[in-house]
Structure 1
Amino acid sequence: MLEMRQVYKSYYENSEKNFFKRLFRNDKQKKDVIKGIDIQIPKGKIVGLLGINGAGKTTTIRMLSTLLTPSDGEILMDGININNDEKVTKKRINVISGGERNLYWRLTGRENLEYFGSLYGIDKKGLSNKIDECLRLVKLEDSSDIPVEKYSKGMKQRLQIAKGLINNPDYILLDEPTLGLDIIIAKELRHYILKLAKELNKGILLTTHYLKEIEELCDYIYLLDNGKILKEGSPYEIVKSVSPEKLVKVEFGKKDKKDVENVVNKLEIPVKCVWNNDESFTLKSGKNIIQEFISACSNYNSISIESISIVEPSLEDSLMEIWHDKY
């Protein structure tokens, strides 16, 4: 297991902009970016790390990959501090970034993998076999001798995955892996990510702004806010902790908004109500209130119900509610 235990990360910033003055630590202002977080990434599981921009996700990934050292706390891999022997750590952890960075476009796909593989000290024969294996996994074996500059976006991102697997890591940190990809290619990559965890037993940390990916892929989620863990749990647990009520969505053929609100106020069951952007109406209640609502509306000629249904709250709905309450 890869885990963070009460990890902190602080920086010192200049308290004033003066390029000609030498500033010592006493002249600088301490800024806490990560504030005592605990994260666990077991093998065979996909763990999501969510948060708005500036929450601390990138700093967390950099610490997990040894690019940054924690100011306090410890990061353990199978019980051993990863910063005790960074050379060994880097052989067991790799980072796969989204977009088209971190590849040499004038080299072929195979040449890219040969270069990055050589950085891990893999012998030539072993590296050649591993490159063939990685290219087959991401279905690039027929394009391995083509310069990367001629690859499509999807091919480049698949090569990024092959690059991330070249050292056969136990843990993979995925930073926005489907960024900028079309729907079909993104779906293929999600398939590869599941395969890495469930078939190859890799421990995976995933950051993404696409919440449907989190719902589809993640076994567990950490919600990072201003350097702290705000919530954690499975996608289902987080949704239920925020939105335990039944959601009843009502679409109207015609309506008088005031009359609809009068109906809601007269219901004997406690109900929260929200007008959606499409002018439909969502009722939140601990019980199924469809019959009571339809019966109450029948007394108003100005209200015509086009459809009414129970809607399961999504992770996106729950996170929006968390951010709305917080900000």
Structure 2
Amino acid sequence: MTAIEVDGISRTFELRSGAFGRRRQVVTAVDSVSFQVQRGELFGLLGPNGAGKTTTIKMLISLLLPTGGGARVLGFDVVGQAKDVRRNIGYVFGGDRGLYSRLSAMDNLKYFAELYAVPHRIRDRRIAELLAVVGLEGREQERVEGYSRGMRQRLHIARGMLHSPAVLFLDEPSIGIDPVGARELRNTVKRLVETGTTVLLTTHYMFEADELCDRIAVINHGRLVVEGTPGQLKSRAGSSGILEVEVFGAVPVGATEKIAALPEVHRVGVEDRDGSQLLTIGTAKGADLEADVLACLDGAPVARIHTRPPTLEDAYVEIIEAS
């Protein structure tokens, strides 16, 4: 059964500039995007900054009106039945906003339970259940100002789940969280999906999307570029293998262009590291280019060189560069 149906949804904004705002410019933030999310699915919406991810979510949770197309959440129209949509969804965003730092986690959850109209007869039981799900049992009486960022994000999720929404929107929930906190947050999301909650997730961390998502849609410049499972996206990447070469210091001038011109090379990326540069070279299936690449580097000191299969991040970069 379908939980979210997005049918050609669009959103434009009008910007004014000049001394008296006489010059007008129409900016398209989301351009005819369509996709579906099934009940119980964890669906990822990926894209660079400014691609239209958050704008899409805000239209789906009825905070923004579409200027074209439409969408339904759990069968409710996001424009005509906005109240029904809001009663059945939860929304969690990245950052520290949305909680009262001087209150304890328990007092925060009791306050938001009142706002969500959670019946008093089940409120305490529901809060206890959520504290267990997000791993904050035993810490609920502590002030939120003493929580780590990861703990705050898990409390955000508990807040968003108080009214037992069937669909949860997570907008970059792990941004700025340390690796341990991010792992705990991912485990929390997995437990929510196991309980039957439908989750729509945006993230900039490709390993996170690869680990969590059943399906992924990539959006760029407001348009949906590709959709599929993480495995399908990786298989669509033009490169069948990735050759990584770490060079001490800087890559010689002109070496990158020489490597890119090799017949079985699809793309070349350069990443600055502490005291070195890492070349990421997308190659054709079965290509053995180590000797050719080393020749292009013209004797530059190489720390390491090895071949690995493409990751979701490699596929994502190729998809974005091609769109």
Q: Quick check: 1:242 aligned with 2:206?
A: no
* Counterpart code for 1:313: P
What is residue 160 of structure 1 aligned with on the other side?
156
CA contact 1:243–1:313 (8 Å) conserved in 2: no
What is residue 223 of structure 2 aligned with on the other side?
228
- TM-score between both structures, scaled by the size of structure 2: 0.82
Partner of 1:142, secondary structure, is coil
Q: 1:312 & 1:228 partners in 2: Cα distance?
A: 28
* Counterpart code for 1:226: H
What is residue 94 of structure 1 aligned with on the other side?
90
What is residue 12 of structure 1 aligned with on the other side?
14
Q: Among 92, 104, 111, which residue is 2:107 paired with? A: 111
Q: Among 127, 132, 146, which residue is 2:142 paired with? A: 146
Change (3 A) 1:232 1:272: closer
Q: Among 195, 204, 208, which residue is 2:191 paired with? A: 195
Q: Quick check: 1:37 aligned with 2:33?
A: yes
The offset of 1:146, in angstroms, is 2.3
CA contact 2:61–2:86 (8 Å) conserved in 1: yes
What is residue 53 of structure 1 aligned with on the other side?
49
* Counterpart code for 1:214: A
Change (3 A) 1:286 1:148: closer
What is residue 183 of structure 1 aligned with on the other side?
179
Partner of 1:47, secondary structure, is strand
What is residue 314 of structure 1 aligned with on the other side?
311
* Cα shift readout 1:200-256 (whole Å, capped 9, x = no counterpart): 111111111112111111121111111111222222222222234333456799xxx
Number of residue equivalences = 311
Structure 1, unmatched stretches of 5+, are: none
Q: Quick check: 1:65 aligned with 2:67?
A: no
CA contact 1:41–1:47 (8 Å) conserved in 2: yes
Q: 2:264 & 2:150 partners in 1: Cα distance?
A: 50
Q: 1:99 & 1:297 partners in 2: Cα distance?
A: 44
**What fraction of aligned residue pairs are identical, expressed as a percent?**
33
What is residue 286 of structure 2 aligned with on the other side?
288
Q: 2:49 & 2:300 partners in 1: Cα distance?
A: 42
Change (3 A) 1:109 1:286: same
Partner of 1:141, secondary structure, is coil
Partner of 1:143, secondary structure, is coil
Change (3 A) 1:150 1:238: same
Select the structure of larger CA radius of gyration: 1
* Cα shift readout 1:174-198 (whole Å, capped 9, x = no counterpart): 111112111111101001111111x
Change (3 A) 1:304 1:51: closer
The offset of 1:109, in angstroms, is 1.2
Q: Quick check: 1:213 aligned with 2:208?
A: yes
* Cα shift readout 1:70-120 (whole Å, capped 9, x = no counterpart): 112111123331333322211211111122110011222122112211122
Change (3 A) 1:284 1:181: closer
Q: 1:307 & 1:106 partners in 2: Cα distance?
A: 50
Partner of 1:4, secondary structure, is strand
The offset of 1:164, in angstroms, is 1.0
